Amino acid sequence: MRVARCLEVWKMGTINYLESIKLQKKLVSDRKTNKISDTLLSLQHPLTYTLGKRRTDHNMLIPMSQLKKIGAELHYTQRGGDITFHGPHQAILYPIISLREIGLGARNYVEKLELTMIELASLYGVKACAGQKGETGVWVGERKIGAIGVQISNGITSHGLAFNIDPDLNYFKHIVPCGIADKGVTSLRKETGLEKCKSQRWEGQGSFKGLQWLC
């Protein structure tokens, strides 16, 4: 008989990227010592570019001096993955969970995050799928709709996924998204044309339907 687990969900609205990093570090530390249960952060970021620990600066296509002019920030992180963009109308989920307690390895965890976004897309009639070998994230044809970048420390996860509801896709033109030059990006709004994708208050509620594996 499976025992139900406790998952605390924090719906945070829009939060500065550096503030989210500080919070995640604190939560990871607390989770390691069992001061807290598994926690899911549901949020959005202001206009932000982030680079993974491989430091692929060459995939940033505009000079650093131009970032302020377009209203964006750039931050280096310790997550996996390449460069990506975060902004308004993008659903971001950061699970702070113990993989050991749910019996998942790193690869299986990433696959679960992909499945979460695939199921979210399906709620709107969009057929998405996981990437080919070496391409993490979720795709609609040759267009990426959801990115994944995680960090795992002593079995505790941080960072997570970013799913494009209706962000301004023009900001992706300033980077080589996820280091993949020959494919594009898309959003739920672009694939469906549904106005509700933009007007709906997004706090990650739709994606919770795909997170039963956490509970």
The answer to whether 4 is a known ligand-binding residue is no
Residue 202 structure tokens: 């997004």
Q: Which fold has domain 7-214?
A: BirA Bifunctional Protein; domain 2 (3.30.930)
Domain ranges of the chain: 7-214
CB of 152 closer than 8 Å to CB of 99? yes
At 199 the pLDDT is 44
Q: Look at residue 207 and tell me whether its pLDDT is greater than 70.
A: no
Stated pTM of the model:
0.91
Alpha-helical (H) ranges within the chain are 17-32, 99-102, 106-123, 188-192, 196-199
Under 8 Å between Cβ of 110 and 138: no
82 is in an annotated binding site: yes
Provide the annotated active-site residues: 178
Q: Which helix (H) or strand (E) holds 23?
A: helix 17-32
Contact of 50 with 77, CB cutoff 8 Å = yes
- 85 annotated among ligand-binding-site residues: yes
Lowest mean pLDDT among 22-36, 114-128, 195-209: 195-209
Residue 172 marked in a binding site: no
On the question of pLDDT at 39 being above 90, the answer is yes
CB within 8 Å of 133: residues ≥ 6 apart = none
Predicted pLDDT at 205: 47
Q: How many residues does the chain have?
A: 215
Which of 85-99, 148-162, 198-212 is least confident?
198-212
Residue 178 has pLDDT above 50, yes or no: yes
